[in-house]
């Protein structure tokens, strides 16, 4: 059997958590389903399939643990065979860098998630700003429309006022003209009267 800690990306804390949930060997992890591993604290939906694949690699890298039937080596005194079988297991140095790579990959994954979160926040902020700008532009357009309508109404009112003024001026002029005509008529009558008087005086003088 391959130990849980031989799996890439599994440290002491995660190994204890896996053992507590019943995953005591790499073989158990390799046979597990992602939804089962997700129940273990520290393992997410993205990490579960990665751990299953790593467990399978650990089993392949440790054939002595994967083949317990090979233990009857005691019957065959040839010690060279178990040495060849155990040789891959004596390469923890290759496993340790792999574990470091997994930690680095986890860190990279975390950074990627953080970047995605920031990008989502920026996108949401941009959408909110765009909606605010649209609302502002709409309000501005509405205000401009109202101002234009008010100007039009004022222009119509001003025209009507000017028209009334023009009519009143015209009325005043016509009244003045009528007064002048009346005055002229009166003056003409007075002249006629004075002429008739003068004629009468002339007649009287002529009689005398």
Q: What is the pLDDT of residue 72?
A: 45
The domain ranges of the chain are 4-67+79-90
Is the backbone of residue 22 left (phi > 0), alpha (psi -120 to 50) or beta? left
**Count of CB atoms within 10 A of residue 89's CB?**
15
Q: What is the pLDDT of residues 8-36, one digit of tens each?
A: 888 888 888 888 888 888 888 888 888 88
**What DSSP assignment string belongs to 164-196?**
HHHHHHHHHHHHHHHHHHHHHHHHHHHHHHHHH
What average pLDDT does range 45-66 have in this prediction? 80
- Report d(CA 4, CA 25) in Å as an integer: 5
Supply the pLDDT for residue 207. Answer: 66
Q: Report pLDDT digits (tens) over 78-108.
A: 544 544 555 555 555 555 444 455 777 788 8
Give the distance from CA 38 to its chain's centroid.
Answer: 32
Alpha carbon distance 88, 59 (integer Å):
11
Strand partners, 25: 3
N-term to C-term CA, the chain = 175
Q: What CA–CA distance (Å, rounded) separates 63 from 12? A: 23
pLDDT tens, 129-182?
989 999 999 999 999 999 999 999 999 988 898 889 888 877 777 777 777 788
Q: In CATH, what class is 4-67+79-90?
A: mainly alpha
């Amino acid at each position: 059997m391959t130990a849980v800690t031989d799996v890439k990306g599994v440290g002491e804390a995660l190994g204890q958590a896996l053992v507590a949930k019943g995953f005591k060997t790499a073989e158990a992890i390799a046979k597990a389903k992602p939804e089962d591993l997700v129940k273990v604290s520290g393992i997410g939906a993205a990490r579960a399939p990665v751990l299953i694949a790593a467990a399978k690699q650990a089993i392949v890298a440790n054939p002595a643990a994967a083949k317990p039937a090979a233990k009857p080596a005691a019957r065959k005194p040839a010690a060279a065979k178990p040495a060849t079988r155990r040789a891959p297991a004596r390469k923890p140095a290759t496993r340790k860098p792999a574990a470091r790579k997994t930690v680095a990959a986890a860190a990279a994954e975390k950074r990627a998630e953080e970047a995605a979160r920031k990008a989502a926040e920026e996108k949401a902020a941009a959408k909110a700003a765009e909606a605010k700008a649209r609302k502002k532009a709409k309000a501005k357009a509405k205000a401009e429309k109202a101002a234009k309508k008010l100007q039009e109404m004022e222009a119509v009112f001003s025209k009507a006022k000017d028209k009334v003024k023009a009519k009143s001026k015209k009325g005043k002029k016509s009244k003045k003209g009528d007064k002048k005509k009346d005055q002229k008529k009166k003056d003409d009558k007075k002249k006629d009267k004075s002429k008739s008087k003068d004629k009468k005086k002339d007649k009287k003088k002529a009689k005398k």
